[in-house]
Structure 1
């Protein structure tokens, strides 16, 4: 299967590192013009430079804006009024005991993980419908189905993303626009690498031992029995963004290594 996104413009929020960066790389390698987004000019410039090195002839531009803030979202839309592919990737996570999570954290997680995607979809989806082609992809998580006891606030936001994604998909009926969610499992992004290093230090383990122990303890149903790579998640997203995925709409697509123990 050859995926060709030549002529398409893709915006990937939160794409200066981790899964977002890998998605941006995959889309650029497939011919799309990719808009790299982050909150700081230096990080955006650095990500664009690294992508140019990784993908020969890549069409790239960087846009600074905090999608968790109304003003930040507006700045992005002003700079890039139309896109064909929107990947709502920006998100945060933090293991924290439920009884220690204050109201402020619940609100912050909802703004970053949920409202960012709501704002971007609201800004770009009508244009896609008018042009009769578009892809909106929410990067949710298996934690939206298996709510993790160590970060219930995070799981709540990932469930909310699935609800928003499915609801928006219903607005595309009979068009060439699709809205889907991708559900990664534990993935070795930069943020997770830091988390694993902290675990290793706390428990006197190697990083490999800490990662394996985390999966065994917190994701025992995993069939993969390891953390996924960011590129493995990006591969799914690039496919969903393609013309070849035109019959996939309103779906919650799992890339979580078999953690979710249900057939449907």
Structure 2
């Protein structure tokens, strides 16, 4: 299937690894030009080099931005070219007691997870509306509704993305622009791989045994009963970036293996 993404330019925040990088790969396979993003110049340079080696005929560049620093965000906004597809994927999290989590941790997660997408959308959405085409996607999480007790600040930020996304979608009425939210579940990113490896070593188990225990003891609501591959999430994101997805707007699309339950 041709997703009609040739000559489209996509900017993906937090895309030097994980879901972001996998999405860049699937978009490149469809002919899109890619702009990668990471926190440090070193991580971006490595990702761009790796990408060029895998996709020698693609157009790829990258910008390093620490979204917790307003001056770096302003610098990024001044350098970005015209964007057809904006994927707000960058995010951080911490695990700990609600009673011991400092205010600064709440503010930092909100600044990076939520305000990064707000600031980028404020700059990019008007240009999309003026040319009557564009795609903005916010990458949320199953934690927005499951809300693990050790990740309440993170869950708060992911729930906030749903409101921002829906509000922006309402600004696109009668246009060729769409704004949607993606809701991944437990996904086998590099971080999840490290979690499994560390837990396996600590508990004297195999990675497979740790993964099975996670879904039988922790994420029991999952219907998939395994970690999703980053490519499985990226495939859904890529479709929603395409002109073929024009009738999907203001929606939250689940790619969480059924973990959040319900019929909506």
Normalised by the shorter chain, which TM-score bucket? over 0.9
Question: What displacement does 1:149 show?
Answer: 1.7
Q: CA deviation at 1:4?
A: 2.6
Superposition deviation, residue 56 in structure 1? 4.1
* 1:99-248 mapped onto 2 (5 Å cutoff): 99-248=99-248
Aligned to 1:85: 85
Question: Which runs of no fewer than 5 residues in structure 2 stay unpaired?
Answer: none
Q: Deviations over 1:43-88 (max 9, x none)?
A: 1111111112223411101112123322222222211142010000
For 1:21-52, what per-residue CA distance to the aligned partner results, in whole angstroms no more than 9, with x for missing partners? 11111111111111011121111111111112
Query: So what's the TM-score if we normalise by structure 2?
Result: 0.96
Task: Give the distance between the partners of 1:71 and 1:24, measured in 2 at CA.
Answer: 26
Root mean square deviation of aligned Cα: 1.2
Task: Give the match's secondary structure for 1:220.
Answer: coil
Secondary structure of residue in 1 paired with 2:146: coil
Q: Whole-Å Cα distance in 2 between the matches of residues 156 and 204 of structure 1?
A: 34
Runs (4+) of structure 1 moved beyond 6 Å? none
The answer on 1:54 being equivalent to 2:75 is no
Structure 1 equivalent of residue 16 of structure 2: 16
Residue equivalent to 1:72 = 72
Task: Measure, in 2, the Cα distance between the counterparts of 1:41 and 1:253.
Answer: 32
| 1:13–1:67 contact (8 Å) kept in structure 2 | no
Deviations 1:175-199 (A, max 9, x none): 0000001000000111222222232
SS at match of 1:10: strand
Mean Cα deviation higher: 189-198 or 111-120: 189-198
Unpaired segments ≥5 residues, structure 1: none
Task: Tell me how far 1:133 sits from its aligned partner.
Answer: 0.3
Matched residue of 1:145: which SS? helix
